[in-house]
Structure 1
Amino acid sequence: MTTLLEPYQLADLTLPNRVVMAPMTRSRSQNHAPNESTATYYAQRASAGLIIAEGAPISLQGRGYLWTPGIYTQEQLDGWRKVTDAVHQAGGRIFVQLWHTGRMSHVTLQENGQAPVSSVDTQVVNWPVFAYDEAGNPGQVPASPARRLSVEEIHRITEDFVRAASNAMAAGFDGIELHSAGAYLLDQFINGGINTRDDEYGGESIQNRLRFVLETVDAVSQAIGSKRVAIRISPEARIHDGPAYPSERETFLTLAEELSKRSLAYLHINDMGVSSELLAGIRRVYRGTLMIAGEYTQEKAQKAIESGVVDLVAFGRPYIANPDLVERFRNGWPLAVAEHAVFYGGDDRGYTDFPPYIQS
């Protein structure tokens, strides 16, 4: 019987277990660059089979929230180098998630107050972003209206992803994960309920709606090698005003089949309501490493591994208060629980001060 705590060979990396630390925005980088606390935070969690660092905006345009560490300036790369060095010295392995939020942004986060961008002219209505309010104070504000990208601009954003991936390699990461989930930019092109373009990057054609993400996967793979490239998707998710649409299941099955041809490090499914039928369908057509995340317990994760539906399981919130999550799983120790108030922003309280379990 395969267990959650057994080693796993992920491309060229040998993972000591199948427990992954999921990417989680913590909003602790007030100058938008990783700092010493960031390095401490990730190094504390290095016993994970793999760490996926929080979403790092690939450009100023890609930002959607305050205090998230980007990966497009030298200061940011210097900060990330401290993180990767600390994790590797602690015996860990770490990817970084590359992020462009698209329409989930605000003019106060954009260069010269420009509008955010998306597949079409659109606005998220029911989900706020963390930006500056009218008085210039940080807070939750409605996302600004976004404008449609031109084809030339789409190509430039693919180049931004390539540059960010190369930056990640220079900063010492073991690989990168493209954020194509959660109704952020790449997903805003995939989603047939959002992307109503009438050109080669949208509309009813599944191939057109997948063109941007697949071109980006290919360009990044060519730059750093496909075994260092992974991608996260969220089929059937209803977040950030991402609507259902008639060809949704066919779209994600087609995407999984296309990704399977590309020898990537892994395909990461953020389970925000994906049906068991679609998950099984993706498993059938995707022949590489499959990872899943979504409020998994140790017991639920073990069953998923045993069933063969997935190879790796990513844990988010449990890693906030349990830097030694693997050890707690291995020994049956109880899990600590973090209050929601410490999830985002603030200082080291609720960030680096959660201790490992101490046996009485």
Structure 2
Amino acid sequence: MSLEFQAEIAPLFEPFALRSLSLANRVVMAPMTRGFSPSGVPGKDVAGYYARRADCGLIITEGVGVDHPAALGGSGVDGDNAPHMYGRCALEGWRAVVDTVHAAGGKIMPQLWHQGVMREMGTGPHPEVETVRPSGVWGPLDRTAMVTPEYLSNVAAKPGRAMTDEEVVDVIEGFARSARYAMDVGFDGIAIHGAHGYMVDDFLWDGTNSRTDRWGGDHIGRAAFAVELVKAIRREIGLEPVINFRFSQWKQQDVRARLAETPGQLGEILGPIADAGVDIFDGSQRYFDKAEFEGSSLNLAGWAKKLTGKAAQTVGGVGLSSGVYDSKRTGGSDAARENIANVAQRLARGEFDLVGVGRAIMHDPAWVGRVQRGEELLPFAEASRFVLT
């Protein structure tokens, strides 16, 4: 690769500091669930997997189940082998992961996760426990969903009931406990999964939240669950650790879904969440270079930063020529150069502060170093087991 290209992508390798977090560069390994933690306990292979990618400025782990019995479940990679953040064995495993990543010079946060309506009843660490849904529904059943027909009939179409107020609070407290456990074992901050149709997003989206109590209503009302969750986590971990909050417009239930049709509506959602204690908004979209609202080139992360004044992280096909859930086989260096230069230029303009890279780094642990040194990138081929969370 040319010296001109290296100059273009230089903003990716500038340091970043916020609260107690100090990063060597702006590249963040995006969370990708793999299902390699038997009984929820990460082992030496998980530690090695993340340590090999320690030259990222920050690693955000795969989705990690919080301390709530209905947090995890499924017949795929997100079932019994998804990791969780509670219990002596799991926490010892995570301490080893953190220590190994730190020894390699990296920084790492767990992505705290509750599957919400997406959980399959009768599976996971607690198969006897009922799946919890904010309003008892999985979401619209007549839209394009990224799930199988079997899942639609066996999970989505199954009737449910609205969560009680006590059940809502129990989930919030489970997130807070797991955040404290994560800090106790040495993580460098907390990432919250608030996107893609899982529990936090289930409260944000009107397709899964039709409540009329304090957890529902309009955009502001539907954000109340996320607000209280962030406050609870902040109380547990203190003021210095960074909280990263992932959100999205699209859902697994409906790729065309939108939390907000206008910047004003998005501000109503994100503003209270920012005030509750979020430091970085991770705007998840299929293509990072897609404008979010008409009349502006800003992407989803860019709008989050503009509306809240908080730091923002972009993600979506960085280093590739296609977005998530499109073709998993794409070009190598020629296709990637323009893409990487584009995201670096937008970073330099201040549209966002951090750049999430998923499939490219999953595919090649040395991706960050290759890009920085201007080396040829490996042709991308689909990995056998991963799910973008």
TM over 0.5: yes
TM-score normalised by the shorter chain: which range applies? 0.7 to 0.9
Matched-pair contact (CA < 8 Å) for 1:115–1:147:
no
Deviations 1:153-186 (A, max 9, x none): 1111111011000110122111111110111111
For structure 2, the 5+ residue unaligned runs are 1-7, 294-298, 320-339
| Correspondence 1:267 to 2:281 | yes
Letter in 2 for 1:285: L
Partner residue in 2 for 1:299: 341
The alignment's C-alpha RMSD in Å is 2.6
> Match of 2:99?
85
Which stretch shows the higher mean deviation, 268-277 or 79-88? 268-277
Identity of aligned residues (%): 30
- Match of residue 336 from structure 2: none
How far off its partner does 1:46 sit? 0.6
Distance 1:7 1:112, change over 3 A: closer
Q: 1:243 to 1:331 in 2, by over 3 A?
A: closer
- Alpha-carbon contact 1:30-1:68 (below 8 Å) kept: yes
| CA 1:330–1:281: 2 relative to 1, 3 Å | closer
- Contact 1:221 / 1:229 at 8 angstroms: preserved in 2? no
The letter of the residue matching 2:32 is M
Conserved 8 A contact 2:21-2:242: no
- Does structure 1 retain, via aligned residues, the 8 Å contact 2:223–2:273? no
Task: Name which of 40, 54, 63 aligns with 2:72.
Answer: 63
CA contact (8 A) 1:271 1:294 kept: yes
Q: Can you list the C-alpha shifts for 1:45-82, whole angstroms capped at 9, x where unaligned?
A: 11110000111010331004211111122111011011
Q: Per-residue CA shift, 1:239-285, capped at 9, x if unaligned?
A: 33376368544442223222333453311111236643363443222
Of the candidates 180, 189, 192, which is equivalent to residue 206 of structure 2?
192
For 1:75, which of 89, 100, 105 is the aligned residue?
89
1:333 to 1:140, Cα distance in 2 relative to 1, 3 A: farther
Report how many aligned residue pairs link the two structures. Answer: 336
SS of residue in 2 equivalent to 1:3: helix
Contact 2:110 2:187 in 1 (8 A): yes
Which SS does the other structure have where 1:56 is aligned? strand
Contact 1:228 1:265 in 2 (8 A): no
SS in 2 for 1:154: helix
The answer (yes or no) to whether the contact 1:321–1:338 under 8 Å persists in 2 is yes
Alpha-carbon distance change, 112 to 317 in structure 1, aligned in 2, over 3 angstroms: closer
Between the two structures, name the one with larger relative contact order (CA 8 Å, sep ≥ 6): 2
Give the structure 1 partner of residue 191 of structure 2: 177
What whole-Å deviation, never above 9, does each CA across 1:189-241 have from its counterpart, x for those lacking one? 111232111211113x2222011000000110011024424243333214333
Deviates more, 1:326-335 or 1:310-319: 326-335
Structure 1 residues 140-149 or 216-225, which shifts more? 140-149
Give the distance between the partners of 1:114 and 1:141, measured in 2 at CA.
20
Alignment partner of 1:276 is 2:292: yes
Corresponding position: 1:216 with 2:242: no
Match of 1:24 in 2: 32
Q: 2:165 aligns with which of 151, 156, 165?
A: 151
Q: Find the aligned partners of 2:70 and 2:315 in 1 and give their Cα distance.
A: 27
Deviates more, 1:258-267 or 1:303-312: 258-267
Q: CA shift at 1:117, angstroms? A: 1.1
8 Å CA contact retained: 1:26, 1:343: yes
Q: Could you tell which deviates more after superposition, 334-343 or 293-302? A: 334-343
- What aligned pairs does 1:32-71 form with structure 2 within 5 A after superposition? 32-58=40-66, 59-64=68-73, 65-66=78-79, 67-71=81-85
Within the candidate set 336, 349, 353, 2:378 is matched to: 336
Q: 1:247 to 1:174 in 2, by over 3 A?
A: closer
User: SS in structure 1 opposite 2:14?
Assistant: coil
Q: Which runs of 5+ in 1 are unaligned?
A: 134-138, 346-360
Letter in 2 for 1:333: E
CA distance in 1, matches of 2:137, 2:255: 12
Q: Distance in 2 between matches of 1:268 and 1:295?
A: 14
